[in-house]
Amino acid sequence: MIVKDKNQNDIMHSDLINSFEIDYIFDNKPINRFKNKPTIENTVSKLNILKEKIKNIKNCNLKDNAKQIVFNDGDFKSSLMIVGEGPGQKEDEIGKPFVGDAGQLLNKMLKAIKINRENVYITNVVNYRPPDNRKPEPSEINRYSEFLREHISIIDPKILILMGSTAMESLFGSKIKISKERGMWKEIIINNKTYLVMITFHPAYLLRQADQKKYSWSDLKEIRKKIDALNLKI
């Protein structure tokens, strides 16, 4: 094999690259790229792009029957992300998740573990109200789960809370039961990153089944312990 001598320009270019004391990505391609850390502007831009992508979805029965998209609420910089099922009538009218009766209970649940709602990030599996507040169909959950995974990657939370069976099914499938899976820490890999997950009952379910609140309280205490163990400021 014949090895060609480097010319003077190659040597100067190599010396220049080696002089940088930053994290520089160098390969054999003519274009070199710096590693960019996520910024507030980048996150906002990605969220806006995702929102527009969902708003432009085609052939969607949920979108066709809803008043508006219900995308998010709270602090996108938060280490804690909550995922519910989908918008109800009140959410559809206002355009924010968890603002009805279930939302009021959620606020109390968070307050019980010394967390203000404003300090967490909240979204749903589906972003349009299902007709008559029905549970999203499996095909709808599957379709919107792609958006949800992208949403999670953008927020990049330290702790992910899935409230209700729909949220659980969107990421873990429909073959498991929430009654058996709730209250235990799990992990899920999304876009090559591992996220810490807690599954718990949806507040709307607790409004119908008050006797199940004791289990949710146990889950909430575990969440508080994990927040403290990770030294998260929420």
- Residue 117 is encoded by which pair of tokens? 């709602």
Residue 119 has pLDDT above 80, yes or no: yes
pLDDT digits 0-9 by tens, 156-205 = 999 999 999 999 999 999 899 999 999 999 999 999 999 999 999 999 99
**Strand 159-163 vs strand 80-84: parallel, antiparallel, or unpaired?**
parallel
The CATH number of domain 40-229 is 1.20.1740.10: no
Residue 21 has pLDDT above 70, yes or no: no
- Cα–Cα dist 109/84, whole Å: 14
What average pLDDT does this structure show over 109-134? 98
pLDDT digits 0-9 by tens, 130-163 = 999 999 999 999 999 999 999 999 999 999 999 9
Among 154, 44, 34, 224, CA closest to 216: 224
194: Cα within 13 Å, side-chain hemisphere:
4
Domain boundaries, the chain: 40-229
